[in-house]
Amino acid sequence: MDDAFIKLFRSLAPFNDTEIAEASTCFDTELVRKDEYFCKAGRICDKMGFVRSGLLRSFYTINGKETTTFFQTPGSVATALASFLRRKPALENIQAMEDSELVVISRENLLRLYNDNWKWQQVGRSFIEEYYINMELRMISLQSQSALERYKKFLKEYPELIQTVPLYYIASYLGMSPETLSRMRKTIYD
Amino acid sequence: MDDAFIKLFRSLAPFNDTEIAEASTCFDTELVRKDEYFCKAGRICDKMGFVRSGLLRSFYTINGKETTTFFQTPGSVATALASFLRRKPALENIQAMEDSELVVISRENLLRLYNDNWKWQQVGRSFIEEYYINMELRMISLQSQSALERYKKFLKEYPELIQTVPLYYIASYLGMSPETLSRMRKTIYD
DNA sequence: CGAGGCCTTGACCGCGGTCAATGCCCGTGG
DNA sequence: CCACGGGCATTGACCGCGGTCAAGGCCTCG
């Protein structure tokens, strides 16, 4: 397991070294090459990944149109959460936009950790809470802000991504067409 | 505590009678009269309510405009979740649309239950999961469906609410103006 | 050099928001 | 009992945001 994630877990529950060491056998490393999928829509997503390096995005396809829902940068969690939780086919895909390395735990192993030690329950709760709050903020933004406001907000929150992510993915994430995003950008930079 | 909720809790973790009995001292009953608030925006929401009877709605106000985010019917959970989890001022209000009765647990007592018994951790996880999945579906709907499609979907999912809830709240929940909702209704019933 | 991927630009237009008027229902008080 | 007023739904007129379609420019890569 990775140092950064050990730190993260420790910040969520008071683990000692033994507990971390025992748990580390439950985690695995997975490489996902650019354009390949970590999860696919229609299949049950039975793993949870912690991004160590690279960059991924979640998106679903409705009426032939892709909608990007999240970008997973190093330090964040990648999973089709609803599918993972309910063991139903996932709605969304998770695709690597660059070669990415993830620390992965299977659903099975996670449930085992939950049973072994309540502290992992707490970690699990925390991640879902995190997911939830992200989603809530995103929804409020989509519902109450104009396209321009949403773009400005994105600029503040994810300045790095503007450089690396194709604009049409960002447009999709922001709930607008690439053309509209292009025009928003124009109005800002005159 | 209420029979319906005991059943619910039991479906989420294998409680025995003693555990339920011990926990029941942590719960309380709260009456919220029509138009009064269970939670208020700007204050920290430090309780979680299980609706026994009545009807409530969550909404937040941005730029002087209300947006309804959820309706809480009997059996569902009422709390400003992000505020509850992070102990930050709530963005949303929860207001009773009819006289309502809730079984309430304080944050403090919930944390105590979490510590006492891992099964309650599981219950807590389940509720957040529920909240999360609801939110996700709502977001997908808002982003990928037209106003008319969203209304039709609402009709299927919450036929009861059409009778009892003022249409302008439903419009707000569906992310459209009351006028638009009115026109959608017209196109359906000719 | 050509091809394909991505971004921009322009023209057009439709969904749905805003504003304002009207209708309807119902509770309240004269 | 009726008059009034307020809350809610509907309707109409208008219009702007942002989507769609199509074309053109600009990369990079084979």
Give pLDDT tens digits for B91-111: 999 999 999 999 999 999 999
Tell me whether residues A125 and B121 touch, CB distance under 8 A.
yes
In whole angstroms, give the CA distance from residue A118 to residue B8.
21
Query: B142 to chain A: nearest residue by CA?
Result: A143
CA neighbours closer than 13 Å in the CB half-sphere of residue A138: 22
Neighbours of B133 (CB within 10 A): 16
B139 and B63 co-located in one domain: yes
CB B47 within 8 A of CB B121: no
What CA–CA distances, in Å, run from B74 to A43, A71, B32, B34, B52? 33, 36, 13, 15, 5
| pTM of the predicted protein model | 0.90
CATH assignment at residue B131: 2.60.120.10
Do B133 and B154 share a domain, yes or no?
no
Q: Which of residues 4-33 of A touch B (CB under 8 A)?
A: none
What integer is the mean pLDDT of B85-96? 95
pLDDT for B143 equals 87
Identify the pLDDT of residue A166: 95
**B 160-189, residues with C-beta < 7 Å of strand D:** 166-168, 178-179, 181-183, 185-186
Inter-residue contact B69 to B59 (CB < 8 Å): yes
Q: Residues A87, A181: one domain?
A: no
Residue of A119, A121, A126 to mutate when probing chain B, most B C-beta within 10 A: A121
A165-to-A31, A92, B74 alpha-carbon distances in Å: 20, 19, 44
Whether residues B28 and B121 fall in one domain: yes
Average pLDDT, chain A: 92
Q: Are residues B89 and B157 in the same domain?
A: no
Q: Scanning the structure block, which residue is given the tokens 């997503």?
A: A45
In the block, residue with structure tokens 């056998």: A25
CA distance B136 to chain A (A): 7
pLDDT beyond 80 at A154 = yes
Q: Report how many domains make up chain B.
A: 2
Share of chain B above pLDDT 70, in %: 99
The nucleotides of chain C lying under 7 Å from a protein CB are 6-11, 15-20
**Do residues A133 and A189 share a domain?**
no
User: B72: domain range?
Assistant: 3-143
* Chain B residues in contact with A149 (beta carbon < 8 A): none
Percent of chain B scored above 90 by pLDDT? 76
pLDDT of residue B4: 82
B32 near B100, Cβ under 8 Å? Answer: yes
Q: What's the mean per-residue pLDDT of chain B? A: 92
Percent of chain A surpassing pLDDT 90: 75
User: What pLDDT score was predicted for residue B151?
Assistant: 96
Reported as a single tens digit per residue, the pLDDT across A40-86 is 999 999 999 999 999 999 999 987 889 999 999 998 999 999 999 99
**For residue B63, pLDDT beyond 90:** no
User: Is B153 in the same domain as B97?
Assistant: no
Locate A179 and state its tokens. Answer: 């053309």
Q: Are B162 and B152 in contact (CB under 8 A)?
A: no
E strand segments, B112-155: none
* D21 C1' to A153 CA distance, Å: 29
Q: Which residues contact B124 (CB under 8 A, 6 or more apart)?
A: A125, B110, B114
Q: What is the band of B125 on the pLDDT scale with cuts at 50, 70, 90?
A: confident
Let me know whether A71 and A116 are in one domain: yes
Reported as a single tens digit per residue, the pLDDT across A91-109 is: 999 999 999 999 999 999 9
Q: What is the pLDDT of residue A100?
A: 94
Looking at the structure, do residues A136 and A177 belong to the same domain, yes or no? no
Q: pLDDT tens digits for B18-52? A: 999 999 999 999 999 999 999 999 999 999 999 99
Q: Chain B residues with CB inside 8 Å of A107's CB? A: none
Residue B190: the pLDDT is: 59
Quick: pLDDT tens for A6-24.
Answer: 999 999 999 999 999 999 9
Do B168 and B79 have their domain in common? no
Instruction: Quote the CA–CA distance of B170 and B178 in Å, as a whole number.
Output: 8
Over range A125-141, report the average pLDDT. 89
pLDDT at B129 over 80: yes
First-last CA distance in chain B: 48
Q: For residue range B150-175, what is the model confidence (pLDDT) as tens digits?
A: 999 999 999 999 989 999 999 999 99
Which strands, in side-by-side order, build the sheet including B47-53? Answer: B27-32, B100-106, B47-53, B77-78
Domain match, B115 and B152 both: no
Do A43 and A123 fall into the same domain? yes
Q: Residue A190 — pLDDT band, cuts 50, 70, 90?
A: low
**Do A101 and A54 touch, CB atoms closer than 8 A?**
yes
